[in-house]
Amino acid sequence: MAEKLKYFVNGQFRESKTDKWYDLHNPSTGEITGQAPCCTNDEVLEAIAAAKAAYPGWSATPAIKRAQILYRVRELILERMDELTMSVAKENGKVWAESEGDVLKAKEGTELATQVPSLMMGESIMDASRGYDTVKYREPLGVFAGIVPVNFPAMIPFGWMAPTCIAAGNTLVLKAASLTPKTAMLFAQLYKDAGVPDGVINVVTCSRNEINTILEHPDVKGITPVGLKIYEKAAANGKRCQALCQAKNHALVMEDCALERTVAGVINSAFGCAGQRCMALSCCVVQDSIADAFVAEL
């Protein structure tokens, strides 16, 4: 029987009470490697409540202390690089080098977040107007939610979302991609091992119905999602929203290019990660004078 994954709330892996499960496949072999829960609405509410409860203590933690914990997160990513890389390769189907690159991008995002004492510095000016000085502070806001795509199970949630979110003193409910959640669960344990307090990061897998609960919940102050519809719903509910939508990428190939190297770059851009990335090349415009040579080189 396939392994049934748990969800991660308040520093604990919990068994879901759901009756709906997502089959997880190894794209390289086609075998079913486990099942992820479609967490119930109550379980998603538990995650939001845990993040809300953790927020006062975490936001009051000095920025330098939060940075020190993230330094430990970085160390553990390096120590567990092979385990994390294998997880990405097995659940996402990337070759080893691309899987390792996915994890390394999570490390880089963590390194950026360790600079939070500088990144969160405010500004001040004396005599902005006669008799008035101005001061600006940067403060955390509360609970944020991240809705993760299937194609980068390490980089996007744990390079772009989690490190900067918690470094700034916010807490996070992460909706892992339902078809590639194992890497997210490994990272959840890694963050706990690094000293991130319980409730600061919570990881669930669920359907769009439970996502609506996240989008509409008054305690969730901001969303980092994929997709226009989620952006529209988040904005309609008055939440900050940073949407990751597909780019439309063009290559312009001119006659003075290094043809062989350019063709190799175009192929890598279009088909690296099996084309499953927002920056995948979708259109190539080639100068007429070298169009036939370009096609022949492909």
Question: Taking 70 as the threshold, does the pLDDT of residue 83 lie above it?
Answer: yes
Nearest to 63, CA basis, from 136, 139, 133: 139
Q: What is the 3-state secondary structure (H, E, C) of the chain?
A: CCCECCEEECCEEECCCCCCEEEEECCCCCCEEEEEECCCHHHHHHHHHHHHHHHHHHHCCCHHHHHHHHHHHHHHHHHCHHHHHHHHHHHHCCCHHHHHHHHHHHHHHHHHHCCHHHHCCCEEEEEEECCEEEEECCCCCCEEEEECCCCCCCHHHHHHHHHHHHHCCCEEEEECCCCCCHHHHHHHHHHHHHCCCCCCEEEECCCHHHHHHHHHCCCEEEEECECHHHHHHHHHCCCEECCECCCCEEEEECCCCCHHHHHHHHHHHHHHHHHCCCCCEEEEEECHHHHHHHHHHC
106-120, 186-200, 218-232: least confidently modelled range: 218-232
98-102, 127-131, 145-149, 225-229: least confidently modelled range: 225-229
Sign for the pseudo-dihedral over CA of 70, 202, 185, 161: negative
Question: Taking 80 as the threshold, does the pLDDT of residue 226 lie above it?
Answer: no
50-54, 160-164, 237-241: least confidently modelled range: 237-241
Q: Name the phi and psi angles at 4, rounded to 5.
A: -95, 120
- Side-chain-side CA neighbours of 54 within 13 Å: the count stands at 25
Nearest to 213, CA basis, from 40, 14, 13, 12: 40
Q: What is the mean pLDDT of residues 6-24?
A: 97
Q: Output the pLDDT for position 62.
A: 96
Q: What is the mean pLDDT of residues 199-214?
A: 94
Q: Output the pLDDT for position 242.
A: 80
190-206 pLDDT per residue, tens: 999 999 999 999 999 99
* Residue 233 confidence class, pLDDT cut points 50, 70, 90: confident
Contact 117, 64 (CB under 8 A): yes
pTM, two decimal places: 0.87
24-38, 224-238, 262-276: least confidently modelled range: 224-238
* Residue 30 confidence class, pLDDT cut points 50, 70, 90: very high
16-27 pLDDT per residue, tens: 999 999 999 999
Question: Taking 80 as the threshold, does the pLDDT of residue 183 lie above it?
Answer: yes
Q: Output the pLDDT for position 279.
A: 78
How many CB atoms lie under 10 A from the CB of residue 187? 28
Task: Decide which of 190 and 229 is more confident.
Answer: 190
Give exposure, 201-227, as e/b (b: 16+ Cβ within 10 Å): bbbbbbeeebbbbbbebeebbbbbbbe
Return the structure tokens found at 27.
């794209």
- Active-site residue set: 278
Q: Output the pLDDT for position 240.
A: 84
* Cα 189 to Cα 184, 223, 298, distances in angstroms: 9, 23, 44
Q: Output the pLDDT for position 264.
A: 94
Beta strands 240-241 and 220-224: pairing type? parallel
Give exposure, 28-49, as e/b (b: 16+ Cβ within 10 Å): eeeeeebbbbbbbeebbbbbbb
If phi > 0 it is left, if psi is from -120 to 50 it is alpha, else beta; for residue 11 that is left
Question: Taking 90 as the threshold, does the pLDDT of residue 162 lie above it?
Answer: yes
Q: Name the phi and psi angles at 21, rounded to 5.
A: -130, 150
